Structure 1
Amino acid sequence: MTQVLVSAASNQTGAGLGAQAFDIVGPVGVVAVRQAVAAAVLLPVARPPLCRMTWTQWWPTLLLALVFGTMNLTLYLAIDRIGLGLAITLEFLGPLTLTLAASRTRPDVVTAILAAAGVYVLVLPGPADDVLGLALGLTAGVCWAAYIVLNRVVGVRLTGLQAPTLASGLCALGYLPVLVTITVAASWDASAVTRAVAAGLLSSVVPYAVDLVTLRTVTPRQFGLLSSAQPAMAALVGLLLLSQPLAVHEWLGIAIVIAANALAVATNATTAPTERAAGQ
């Protein structure tokens, strides 16, 4: 639970800082910097064994690199088009669907529904006629679910941070033309660089490391449910970092999400040994 909250707090703080650079370099530019920073920090530390990797290690890592690039880009583009609340709601449908699909007992289903209700109350998304924005948000949700599953796989097949490090490096190479284009166009200023780099550290490096460790101790179902803390943390970060006051329904949504996460932890304490044994 603590690890997921740390990941959520870091991720949402970085996203808030990165969004402040949208007007200067755009969502694509921020994503490009995020991946470059993640690769620059992680590669010297993890040092993936490229020459010794087998195909069973390569294929989930390659897919993880694709997910990294697609998930971040589609979410930022969705936020830019349909707003933070609706974008986060749509993205959370990914891990929520994963949780419901893996649920086998009534408490599992009740907890998942409670978390979904909390997120909905938190953001109270209104109608939107931006079909592309909606599609981008849903795509981010699919990527988030894939991220959970793939992190579970690569965490078993590669030691330490080798898999997310290599995936970040490959993703950074894919976004290299974007960095070159922005640099040539002289779009950068000190403020944009600082915010984009902070987004890379807080929204990529920290969550990648924490999530990988977490998924070695909990199942994808449990992780997907605990991810409901992300929208609640986004609201709190908005209050503390951006001085955005919270409405009554937002406080109520946060309370429901906290209750759902507490129930998930209680359920995890009694079912985790069985689930982990079944997954081995």
Structure 2
Amino acid sequence: MATPTREPSSTDTDTASADRPGRGAGVALMLGSALSSQSGAAIGALAFPVIGPVGVVAVRQWVAGLVMLAVGRPRLRAFTRREWWPVLGLAGVFATMNVSLYTAIDRIGLGLAVTLEFLGPLGVALLGARTATPAGPRRRVTLGCAVLAGAGVVLLTRPRPSTDYLGVGLGLLAALCWASYILLNRTLGRRLPGVQGSAAAGAASGLVYLPVGIAVLIAHPPTPAALACAVSAGLLASVVPFLSDLLALRRVPAHSFGIFMSASPVLAAAIGALVLGQALAALDWLAVGLIVTANTAAVLVTRPPRRTIAGRPQTFL
């Protein structure tokens, strides 16, 4: 997850000092965010047999869009064409990322799908480190991260009779969308204040899924249990992480947040095994470990200088 940076002021220094006692709360918020996100995805997957991944994503986007409008309060009429283009691009990324991820979860399981999706922010981090870091030890660490991640992908996608290449491809598409999401959020962070850009994009994505979701739910009438699972996915996988991340990033450094986030594939694999019965093979766990290690190292390599303090996040998952 990317956060914009700015030069500190005396106010920033005071705020940072005041926030130190709250780091325990920040860690708790990060843990709650990660657990909520992966639990929400697992609960949403329980509704797949009734309304399918597209139906679950539609309901999730509706819930998330309504909450984002309430929290972000974007001034849509004041947006210029220069601001609308990245908003609409981000809306398209939201729509594509979630449906590709949930379809991948349906085909290859929660742990593997989330691990592949994490290649998106890892790729952005490695690219940033390569372009911003002069030749030397850090450049070699960056290369090592790329090698580790590549080894993990090879293990995850190794040919087997049961390999679902479409599911793998959808996981990689979700990764590409997440990378685009990070880059678009950087642009929106420069052009719009607060979370107005993300809020508008979330609402637009919900509108895109309105006719799609209605058609799916008419074709596959949801049971109360399936509908409850889909709504829970919207709350747990979108709303709770969004609010938790906003609060956590006010209490912990951005690089610490990135390192903690790297554990999400492990949590996803564990929750997938416990909730969905999707046990991973030993080599799959090794692949998850390699990609998590690469992501953690990449965050450390791209850690900003001490004089730079991370600004407020412009993100929405």
Check whether TM > 0.5.
yes
Take 2:73 and 2:272, find their aligned partners in 1: how far apart are those partners? 36
Does the 8 Å CA contact 2:122/2:295 hold for their aligned counterparts? no
Quick one: structure 1 residues 208 and 127, their matched pair in 2 at CA, closer, same or farther if it must change by over 3 Å?
A: farther
1:96 maps to which residue? 122
Take 1:235 and 1:271, find their aligned partners in 2: how far apart are those partners? 34
Does the 8 Å CA contact 1:235/1:250 hold for their aligned counterparts? no
Deviations, residues 175-234 of structure 1 (Å, cap 9, x unaligned): 111232244346111111111011101212233445567789748xx9777653221120
Q: Does the alignment pair 1:77 with 2:112?
A: no
Deviation at 1:31, TM superposition (A): 0.5
Over the aligned positions, Cα root-mean-square deviation in angstroms equals: 3.8
Deviation at 1:99, TM superposition (A): 1.7
Does the 8 Å CA contact 2:54/2:216 hold for their aligned counterparts? no
The correspondence for 2:67, drawn from 26, 29, 41, is 41
Deviation at 1:25, TM superposition (A): 0.3
Deviations, residues 59-95 of structure 1 (Å, cap 9, x unaligned): 2111111000000111112222334444334322222
Q: Does the alignment pair 1:238 with 2:264?
A: no
Number of residue pairs matched? 274
Q: Does the alignment pair 1:106 with 2:139?
A: yes
Q: Which amino acid aligns with 1:97?
A: G
Corresponding residue SS for 1:150? helix
Q: Which amino acid aligns with 2:195?
A: L
Take 1:254 and 1:135, find their aligned partners in 2: how far apart are those partners? 17
Q: Does the alignment pair 1:165 with 2:204?
A: no
The correspondence for 2:237, drawn from 189, 192, 203, is 203
TM-score, normalization by structure 2:
0.70
Take 2:68 and 2:309, find their aligned partners in 1: how far apart are those partners? 31
Q: Which amino acid aligns with 2:57?
A: V
Larger Rg: 2
- Structure 2 portions without partners, runs of 5+: 1-25, 312-317
Does the 8 Å CA contact 1:98/1:224 hold for their aligned counterparts? no
Corresponding residue SS for 2:84? helix
Deviations, residues 92-135 of structure 1 (Å, cap 9, x unaligned): 222222122111223751673587389669x8554265443333
Does the 8 Å CA contact 1:17/1:198 hold for their aligned counterparts? yes
TM-score, normalization by structure 1:
0.78
Percent of aligned pairs sharing the same letter:
47
1:20 maps to which residue? 46
Map 1:1-280 to 2 at 5 A.
Answer: 2=27, 5-103=31-129, 104=133, 105-106=138-139, 108-109=141-142, 112-113=145-146, 116=149, 124-127=156-159, 130-185=164-219, 187-210=221-244, 218=254, 227-238=261-272, 241-242=275-276, 271=305, 273=307
Corresponding residue SS for 1:175? helix
Q: Which amino acid aligns with 1:188?
A: P
Deviation at 1:150, TM superposition (A): 1.7
Quick one: structure 1 residues 213 and 107, their matched pair in 2 at CA, closer, same or farther if it must change by over 3 Å?
A: farther
Does the 8 Å CA contact 2:50/2:222 hold for their aligned counterparts? yes
Take 1:169 and 1:254, find their aligned partners in 2: how far apart are those partners? 33
- Structure 1 portions without partners, runs of 5+: none
